[in-house]
Amino acid sequence: MENIIEINNLVAKYDTKIILDNISLSIKKKEIFIILGSSGGGKTTLLKHIIGLIKPVSGTIDIFGQEVTKMDNDKFDDILTQIGMLFQGGALINSMKVWENVAIPLEQHTELAPNIIRDLVKQKLSLVNLEHAFNLYPSELSGGMKKRVALARAIAMDPKILFFDEPSAGLDPITALELDELILELKEKLGITLVIVTHELESIKRIADRILYLQKGKNIFVGTLEEARAESIDEIDRFFGWK
């Protein structure tokens, strides 16, 4: 399977403290790739480097076959239009209706007519089973519904890659299960790659194709859950309760 993201010898620092220590990995097209590890292990920092919020001290990041760490802003903006991001809290704008929130990327990055944008928003809300919420405000939604609206906005531009930061955070087990089922459904329907930072064990078991485990900024394992169990790495065994 072809790689859609390749990271080689990535080093990240905050001041003099090394946060990511010589990280190398690849992420395949159309897989669900989970980033996990101990608290402070560098999970969110890695995500921020991939989407260009932070520049590395050294190393390279290839997305769609293009090295992006030294790419100028205009070229990287073209990359970003093919990427969706679901933030931990959803990051909806409370003063705007649901459809207006979902329309933001389409209004910012396309020249489509307003009626076409509204039709596209309806399609995206349909994909997350929220057609009825079109004219509601975020304050009228449950936590799970807000996550799904944020997901609809993240897929508004038909991205090839979706990034998630703790998608199940703050959700009850049933709502988290429903979100996982939706993630699996969107992967199949849209053929996208999903990169997810999470610590939710049940969610990882349900949706992960492969995992990356970071321990104190080091990549100690990349592979499937079955491979992780067979490796018998103490840190990972304790994380999953296998020992």
Q: How many CA atoms lie within 13 A of 24 on its CB side?
A: 4
Q: pLDDT confidence of 228, banded at 50, 70, 90?
A: very high
Global model pTM greater than 0.75: yes
3-class SS of residue 163 = strand
Confidence of residue 143 (pLDDT cuts 50, 70, 90): confident
Determine the pLDDT at residue 184. 92
Angle CA 139–173–175, to nearest 5: 40
Higher pLDDT, 100 or 216: 100
**Residues 1, 29: contact at Cβ < 8 Å?**
yes
